[in-house]
Amino acid sequence: MKVEQISVFLENKPGALAEVTRILGEAGVNIRALSLADTKDFGILRLIVNDNEKAREVLGRKGLTVRKTEVVAVEVPDRPGGLAEILKVLSEAGINVEYLYAFVQQSGENAIIIFRFDEIDRAIAALSEKKVRILEGKKVYGL
Partner 1 sequence: MIWDEEFETLPREALEALQLKRLVSTLERVYATVPFYKKRFDECGLKPADVKSLKDLKRFPFTTKLDLRDNYPYGMFTVPLEQVVRIHASSGTTGKQTVVGYTRRDINTWAELMARSLAAGGVQKNDIIHNSYGYGLFTGGLGVHYGAEKLGASVIPMSGGNSKRQIIIMQDFGSTVLTCTPSYALFLAEVAEEMGVDFKNLKLRVGIFGAEPWSERMRDEIERKLNIQAIDIYGLSEIIGPGVGIECIEAKRGLHVFEDHFIAEIIDPHTGEVLPYGERGELVFTTITKEALPLVRYRTRDISVLYPQPCKCGRTVVRMERVSGRSDDMLIIRGVNVFPSQIESVLMNIKGVEPHYLLFVDRKGNLDTLDVHVEVNEKVFSDEVKDLQALGRKIEKEIKDLLGVTAGVKLVEPKTIQRSEGKAQRVIDKRNI
Counting contacts by CB under 8 A, is residue 46 touching partner 1? yes
Residues 89 and 83: their CA atoms lie apart, in Å, by 10
* Residue closer to partner 1, measured from CB, 5 or 107: 5
Options 3, 10, 90, 95; binder of partner 1; rule CB under 8 A: 10
Options 22, 25, 28, 42; binder of partner 1; rule CB under 8 A: 42
Options 25, 28, 37, 128; binder of partner 1; rule CB under 8 A: 37
Counting contacts by CB under 8 A, is residue 32 touching partner 1? no
Residues 86 and 79: their CA atoms lie apart, in Å, by 12
Options 88, 91, 92, 99; binder of partner 1; rule CB under 8 A: 99
Neighbouring-strand partners of residue 46? 7, 35
Options 15, 39, 80, 109; binder of partner 1; rule CB under 8 A: 39
Counting contacts by CB under 8 A, is residue 80 touching partner 1? no
Give the footprint of partner 1 on this chain (CB under 8 A).
5, 7, 9-11, 16, 37, 39, 41-42, 44, 46, 63-67, 69, 98-99, 116
